[in-house]
Amino acid sequence: MVQDTTLEHDIYLFHEGNLRYSHRLLGAHPDTRNGEKGIRFTVWAPHAVQVSVVGMFNDWDGRENPMEKINDNGIWIAFIPGLEKGTIYKYEILTAHGHLQLKADPYAISSELRPDTASVVYPLDNYSWGDDEWMKQRKAKNPYESPMSIYELHLGSWKNIEPEVFYNYRDYADMVIPYVKDLGYTHIELLPLTEHPFDRSWGYQATGYYSVTSRYGTPDDFKYFVDQCHKYGIGVILDWVPGHFCKDAHGLRRFDGEALYEYANPSKAEKTQWGTLTFDFARNEVQSFLISNAIYWLKEYHLDGLRVDAVASMLYLDFGKEDGDWELNEYGGRENLEAVSFIKKMNEAIFEETPDVLMMAEESTSWPLVSAPTYIGGLGFNYKWNMGWMNDMLKYMEMDPVHRKYHHNLITFSLFYAFSENFVLPISHDEVVHGKKSLLNKMPGDYWQKFANLRAFLAYMYAHPGKKLMFMGGEFGQFDEWKDLEDLDWELLDYDSHASILDYTKQLHQLYQDMPALWELDHKEEGFMWIDANNYEQSIISFVRNSRTSNDQLVVVCNFTPEVYHDYRVGVPKHGSYKEIFSSDAEHFGGSGQTNGLPLESVPSPWQGQDQHITMTIPPLGVSFLKRTSVSKEENHEK
């Protein structure tokens, strides 16, 4: 019988699905009993007949340290004196079927380096953080009206010592952070760092949800990485995968001999296309496990946000399944009502505990109100990846320019829904791997045109409403698709074209940071106005980006063909002098130099729905950013 009332209350909340810090109850924690220091082990295994803690300390003999079952709902506890940080352990579980199985701790803070699979005792209270100023500023910041440009990063293939041999988190901090800071990114997004057995799953098929992967070091090493990011003014977002987990024998699958973390119904449990299992979102203890896990990463590691992977796979019962392999919900629909309820509950809990973080959904369907609060019927995220924009734009950019006029809607359609969610525009790892080609190599044309297309695409991306995300390698024009077992082709920077793209990325970020019109009203309709969306014959579009201050207004003109147009008229909303402040076709970026060096004076003659127009040169495969710098001669004369 449990005597500690706090422990009793935590156990009650855990079984109710409302324990938000269940990692403090379960797992391995330093403790003192009767004056002796040791480790308290706690595990949930309701179907088990017997559970023991085993490790080198007892020669992996389950008879030495049996656990006590302290309630009818399957909480087991053992205190083992003399154990300390670094102890390697597993749980030996005798199932109701008479089988003995060894399982890693679902709440382990650290794990052995693969291929070994045991858990490691690792107290979390030894790191001294130095990011107080960052955390204070984060609370006061409005992310919706701030620049956000995210560098998506897979540590092991950004740079490694040799294939499958990696640097430490601290080494990566010293290499990655100055590079990302110099380029002007505001955030780093890391592919999942939860412990996973197979390198090539990239962390998306995990076994240790509370364990930062030991491939790159210890939990304190990773804290150092985050701490240093914050020191340099860079936020850290972690990919997080609450939808499914891998089937490896030491992991969560049939943890106590029965379906426990996964659905018991195979039609709901099996993710056949990935060979994984779906969490049972209806089970209270699983809710405590997952909600606590999200809060754990945000709180313990000072992360600035989570990007939630494969949300659509959680929302739909038929996701990735053939007819007959799934069952309708109680109302005859295909929505997983339990997952919907869980997602809302999860986001409510996260924003109550950490109100200033980012919760980003990778949701690939048209599910409504993904980034809206739950109290108005939303899922409760504050951002959604704009997969529609990504698919349309990549399809368009891969076309030979001669065909683009027949698919003009691909570059304009996104503006019909751009303000229905708080969007991030993502060019992620999924788009540059497994035969999809790199971003640069998707571009058609000869060598020069590939780079020109890439520059134009990036410029349009940064001019389009929504926050930005780019996978590593895109910033310098990686030619090969992402090779997850090798590091990036850094030697390309010895070539002028690639060095120029890197400089272009840096200068584009500088423009982005300096111009509130490119981010201040990202999620509001008044932040965007078409000038001409319909010139499909020449594949030219033009539009205005607005900020809260009218003087910061930008005119953007994009040409997606290799033709140059001189004396091209563009409608402008106000009369005055317009200066081209940025051109993707500038010679120092590797362009052809068809720029507008002199101020462009507006003419008080209506054009394209505007009261004024200017006449300019439109560069080939180029994007021009124009800013009104002074009133027109006519306006001065009137004054």
For residue 145, indicate whether it is catalytic: no
Report the alpha-carbon distance of residue 145 to residue 143 in Å, rounded.
5
Report the alpha-carbon distance of residue 242 to residue 261 in Å, rounded.
11
Dihedral sign, Cα of residue 306, residue 310, residue 312, residue 314: negative
Report the alpha-carbon distance of residue 570 to residue 581 in Å, rounded.
16
Give, in order, the Cα–Cα distances in Å from 309 to each of 192, 203, 361.
9, 11, 7
At residue 372, what are phi and psi to the nearest 5 degrees?
-105, 155
Q: Which of 362, 363, 431, 487 is catalytic?
A: 362
Report the alpha-carbon distance of residue 482 to residue 473 in Å, rounded.
8
Report the alpha-carbon distance of residue 381 to residue 357 in Å, rounded.
10
Check if the beta carbon of residue 542 is closer than 8 Å to that of residue 557. yes
Query: Rounded to 5, what percent of the chain is helix, strand, coil?
Result: 35, 25, 40
Q: Name the H helices within 368-486.
A: 387-397, 401-404, 409-412, 439-442, 447-463
Report the alpha-carbon distance of residue 298 to residue 81 in Å, rounded.
31
For residue 363, indicate whether it is catalytic: no
Residue 239 contacts by C-beta under 8 Å, 6 or more apart in sequence? 189, 190, 191, 192, 203, 204, 306, 307, 309
Report the alpha-carbon distance of residue 221 to residue 114 in Å, rounded.
18
Residue 140 contacts by C-beta under 8 Å, 6 or more apart in sequence? none
Among residues 504, 520, 403, the alpha carbon closest in space to that of 143 is found at 520
Check if the beta carbon of residue 449 is closer than 8 Å to that of residue 443. yes
What angle do helix axes 219-231 and 169-183 make, rounded to 10 degrees?
20
DSSP labels, 188-245: EEEPP-EE-S-GGGTTSS-SEEEEE-GGG--HHHHHHHHHHHHHTT-EEEEEE--SEE
Please give the radius of gyration of the chain, using alpha carbons only, rounded to the nearest integer.
Answer: 27
Q: Which of 309, 363, 431, 520 is catalytic?
A: 309
Check if the beta carbon of residue 482 is closer than 8 Å to that of residue 442. no
Report the alpha-carbon distance of residue 430 to residue 436 in Å, rounded.
8
Residue 211 contacts by C-beta under 8 Å, 6 or more apart in sequence? 108, 109, 110, 111, 119, 194, 195
Catalytic residues: 309, 362
